[in-house]
Structure 1
Amino acid sequence: MPTLAVLTAAGSGSRLGMDLPKALVELEGLPLVVHAARRLCASGVVDSLVVTTPPGLTAHVAAMLWSDPGVDRPVRAVEGAGTRQASVAAGLRAGLAERDPAAAGQLPPAGGGAEVDVVLVHDAARPLASPELVRRVVDAVRAGHGAVVPGLPVTDTIKRVAPGADGVERVTQTVDRAALRAVQTPQGFDRALLERAHAAAVHREGDESLAATDDAGLVEDLGVDVHVVPGETAAAKITTVHDLRVAALTLQEAR
């Protein structure tokens, strides 16, 4: 049964301070979205991709991925929405729908949307998540865990705080970090479970203050268990220029 990957690339990347969307920012000569798509394809467990794009850039991103030799799976590009949750929902609908293959030259998901049984949701802002990590997540879903996220142990001391005077917060608790995990992507799901989670939260997706920041949170809201597999430092999220420099160093060291 096929696995669909929804690759979110619709963010503005304003904190990077550049005049183009984050997914199109180059890392060692390649846009972040291309790095991420290449690694999804290299995993060998992804059969098709849907990429959500900034407004007006769908054709550009699609052409970029179709022409890249490292992206060797069918790709569809769709315009993202105002929140991450809404963008993922749009990508999910597009990836699972039966589409005319000739429409805008885009290819349908391998095997047809109706046959997809596992869905990955991944962020182009984590361009160096390895093929091994992708396989680890998909293998765990196929082993019977309906929702799976990669996570790393938290190494910093964590304090719970309360508001204080003059902007100085008061510590109320030191949190036990042994049971804490910093969650990454790709996140993997049983297709039916992810569809149900998004349907239950559709009323939130248009409001940035209410929309989910990750899809596992939507599954948790259903009362369904989410499971964690080991993450990796290479899957760090790129948010700032410093993060971009660290990612470049990671690539250089890997070579």
Structure 2
Amino acid sequence: MTDESLPPRTAAVIPAAGRGVRLGPGAPKALRTLNGTPMLLHAVRAMAASRAVSLVVVVAPPDDTQGVKNLLTEFAPPERTDIVVVPGGESRQESVRLGLDALPDGIEVVLVHDAARPLVPVDTVDSVIEAVRDGAPAVVPALPLADTVKEVEPREKGEPERVLATPERSRLRAVQTPQGFQRATLVRAHHTEEARGDGATDCAGMVERLGVPVVVVPGHEEAFKVTRPLDLVLAEAVLARRRANDGF
């Protein structure tokens, strides 16, 4: 088999430098534990579970990079998967860019995955990668909304807010991660946003601003983001169900 006939190599970047203040005081969000294991380790395992992912780059809190490296040395990834840890930046955007900078030559597909989405199933990861390999420059997994959404006029916290519009729910999606990109497209988006100086929390949104199409593939209900204490309870319940069903 020639190199030309091999599928493009894929890497996952996991920005994990945030503090996660909404979870309350304690360790950085990515290092909070689920079933005794840090969320970050669950997220790394989720990316490494895909046979397509050959490298996982973890972007760690700058003041605890060595601690994250020590944590990950206890995790034996599949032989096909390498793990690299680099210090993060002041913002999520900067941390993702630092993760991109750490990628070696030969990586053509890049996933960006939230450490706070530790339970994403491997089938979702694979479907994102497949869509990028099939030619989409940017891909996001997403779910239809269960609730009606209102656009409001923002007010101070706790004050009543006037409704401005009710978007058509059938056209809306709740976006998850991993988001997948052609490497060159994502690098260009980050360079463009850096020049603008606007900042961004969503890589796919940065690509959209380039005028590049972003496509959606089905997400999964277990790929929810652990943001608040109640989410930790739900994540523990999902892990308990997995252990009961298939010994996860």
Q: Structure 1 vs Structure 2: percent identity of aligned residues? A: 48
Give the gaps of 5 or more residues in structure 1: 96-112
User: For residue 89 of structure 2, what is the amino acid of its counterpart?
Assistant: A
* Number of positions where the alignment pairs a residue of Structure 1 with one of Structure 2: 234
Question: Is it true that 1:196 corresponds to 2:188 in the alignment?
Answer: yes
Q: 1:54 aligns with which of 37, 61, 68?
A: 61
Correspondence for 1:219 among 185, 207, 210? 207
Matching residue of 1:7: 14
Q: Does 1:21 align with 2:28?
A: yes
Aligned twin of 1:90: 98
Please report how far the alpha carbon of residue 63 of structure 1 lies from its aligned counterpart in structure 2 after TM superposition.
2.3
CA distance in 2, matches of 1:225, 1:37: 28
Match in the other structure for 2:221: 233
Instruction: Give 1:134 shift.
Output: 0.6
- Which of residues 113, 126, 132 in structure 2 aligns to 1:122? 113
Tell me: CA distance 1:71–1:126, structure 2 relative to 1, closer, same or farther (3 Å). farther
CA deviation after TM superposition for structure 1 residue 67, in Å: 2.2
Q: Deviations over 1:140-199 (max 9, x none)?
A: 000110100000001111112235799322222221010100000000000111111111
Question: Given the two structures, how large is their TM-score scaled by the length of structure 2?
Answer: 0.90
> Which residue of structure 1 aligns with residue 41 of structure 2?
34
Alignment partner for residue 171 of structure 1, among 163, 166, 174?
163
Partners of 1:204 and 1:55 in 2: CA distance = 25
Shift of the alpha carbon at 1:65? 1.4
The CA RMSD over aligned residues, in Å, is 1.6
The verdict on how the C-alpha distance between 1:221 and 1:37 changes in structure 2, with shifts beyond 3 A counting, is same
- Normalising by structure 1, we get a TM-score of 0.88
Q: Deviations over 1:1-50 (max 9, x none)?
A: 31111011111011111321111111001100100101111111100011
Q: Is the 8 A contact 1:158 1:177 kept in 2?
A: yes
Amino acid at match of 1:118: V
CA shift, 1:204, in A, is 5.1
- Mapped to 2, the partners of 1:56 and 1:172 lie a distance apart of 43
Residue 29 to residue 144, structure 1, CA distance change in 2 (3 Å): same
- For 1:201, the aligned partner's letter is E
Structure 1 distance, partners of 2:193, 2:85, is: 24
